[in-house]
Amino acid sequence: MQTIPGVLKQTVHKNPDLAAIVDNGTTTSYRDLQHQVLKVAAAFQTKGLSKGDKFAIWAPNCAEWIVTALAGQTLGSVLVTLNTRYKGSEAADIIRRSGCKLLLTVDGFLGLDYPSMIEGEDLPDLQETLILRDKDGNDGFQNLLDFADAPLAEEALDYIGPDDPSDIIFTSGTTGLPKGAVTHHGQNISVFDVFTNAIDMQQGDRYLVVNPFFHSFGYKAGWLSCLIRAATIYPLGVFDPGDVLRRIEEDRITVMPGAPTIFQTIMDHPDFDKRDLSSLRLATTGATVIPVDLIRKMHEVIGIDHVYSAYGLTETCGVVSLCRKGDDFETIATTVGRPLPETEVILVDEDGNQVDTGEEGEIWVRGFNAMQGYLDAPEDTAHTITSDGWLKTGDVGTMDDKGYLRITDRKKDMIIVGGFNAYPAEIEKWLMQHPDVIDAAVIGMADDRLGEVPQAFIIARTPDIDTEALMTWIKERISNFKVPRKITVLEDLPRNASGKVQKFLFEEM
């Protein structure tokens, strides 16, 4: 096993002139990428960033995101990713609890001024906010490159090892408080070496990274996988189906993973038939349920040679299982494939006993992909990882006699909104901070475009509460994809004898 900056060094040695990143009209070779990484690492070092320190990136997919992530990791510092849809209070909570020293961000993305969004927040460990791009055209990234007189010596790589933490990605849970999943350099390299080999990703592939870098799908199955296989990274900052179609044709894109809705959206676009997509040979997708017809269309209508469905979670470096080359459309659509090599998966009942083949149970995972634990949360870690190393996913499924896994339910009540994870407990916590809301329960409801969206049921202090005003209030505090699309006022929430809200009754409503 090795480190993430070590993978870059190895790829540079073998393919120095190969294009590493193509972004915003600029092509950066692997040699130049490493040069930039070492320069920025020297700047970070001068600013006091060192091994074990945390640094956060709050920015859309772009070349600067990759360079600064690798620069911090070169020093042995730990990357903390921030969702670009976060409100200031959400981002500040993660920056504060992870103790980040540096924040790398942008000003002007989708009209947002991220630095001003966290002004006034209590961030005792944050020493500096560095703006990589801003709306006025100032190039803060170039300032970083020019900051240090000389590049950092490559010997800095010798100070970090495969067992050192590489990143912390926060994921909400049933408590509603985001928890930081800590993973290490070596395990991430091992997981995505196996993953990219399984999907036959190749040197020289041109990978359009649609999924956001703040998520494992965009970061680890995205640009990190490109580093491992010596492929070219094409970051996509904003998803626009017409722009995606244009870029596939003009850049001769060969790899483009994404949520099922992404592929359906580009097929529905009026420019679809006007574009040449013949270069696209490989796609991975994933969701609890994917229409079989969509997988067939991805292959026959879009013309993608190989389509894989996969399953994973932040706590498993992003991957647990995936389909294999040659699997039929129905298998790809209705299962999430077989466990990664070197990964064990069992299904257990409420008492932790393994169920028989074909029976439903909670999915437990053990192997090199399991996180090290949650940041500063030993009780949560102990609740999630057993003493003998089994990680409890909270998802429910079945496994057939060939080892193919099907996800049948989400024990954690998670709602997947167009590929983004929304957690009812977190939304409920925010709703109940409103002075007129006594209690709240959130479930997912079907949506033709996004798959599912949040819906809230509340008990209000006054029966004539303005739900539209409440929705406006909550929009100011949480990311748009988490905002309930409908709020229903009830006199009481249905509960069982132990006081737990019976959400299945809402679904019957």
- Domain annotation covers residue 147: yes
At 108-122, the pLDDT tens digits run 888 889 999 999 999
DSSP, res 18:
S
Domain boundary, last residue among 238, 257, 280: 238
Does any domain span residue 270? no
Which 8-state DSSP code applies to residue 274? G
Residue 508's contacts (CB-CB under 8 Å, 6 or more residues apart) are none
* Domain annotation covers residue 393: no
The secondary structure of residue 206, as a DSSP letter, is E
Please give the tally of structural domains in the chain. 2
Whether residue 154 has pLDDT greater than 70: no
What distances in angstroms separate CA 114 from CA 65, 94, 130, 343, one per listed residue? 15, 14, 11, 39
How is 150-190 classified by DSSP, letter by letter? SPPPGGGGGG--TTSEEEEEEE--TTSS-EEEEEEHHHHHH
Domain that holds residue 216: 4-238
Q: 316 lies in a domain?
A: no
- 209 belongs to a structural domain: yes
pLDDT tens-digit map of 271-323: 999 999 999 999 998 765 677 888 999 999 999 999 999 999 999 999 999 99
Residue at which a domain ends, from 202, 223, 238? 238
The per-residue pLDDT for range 346-378, each reduced to its tens digit, is 999 989 999 999 998 999 999 999 999 999 999
Binned at pLDDT 50, 70 and 90, residue 497 comes out as very low
CA 467 – CA 8 distance, rounded (Å)? 52
pLDDT band at residue 430 under the 50/70/90 scheme: confident
CATH code assigned at 462: 3.30.300.30
CA atoms of 341 and 361, how far apart (whole Å): 21
Q: Which of 213, 238, 263 is the last residue of a domain?
A: 238
Q: Is residue 30 part of a domain?
A: yes
Pair of tokens at residue 174: 């049933």
Q: How far is CA 156 from CA 150, 159, 165, in A?
A: 14, 6, 16
Q: Looking at residue 34, what is its pLDDT?
A: 95
Which residues touch 337 (CB under 8 Å, ≥6 apart)? 308, 309, 310, 311, 321, 322, 323, 324, 327, 331, 404, 405
What letter represents residue 29's amino acid? Answer: S
Q: Specify the pLDDT at position 151.
A: 64
From CA 242, how far away is CA 257, in angstroms rounded? 17
Residue 473 lies in a domain: yes
Position 429 in a domain: yes
Q: Strand runs (DSSP E) across 111-252, as ranges?
A: 112-113, 128-133, 165-171, 179-184, 206-209, 232-235
Share of the chain above pLDDT 70, in %: 94
- In the chain, pLDDT over 90 holds for what percent of residues? 69
Question: Domain of 41: which CATH number?
Answer: 3.40.50.12780
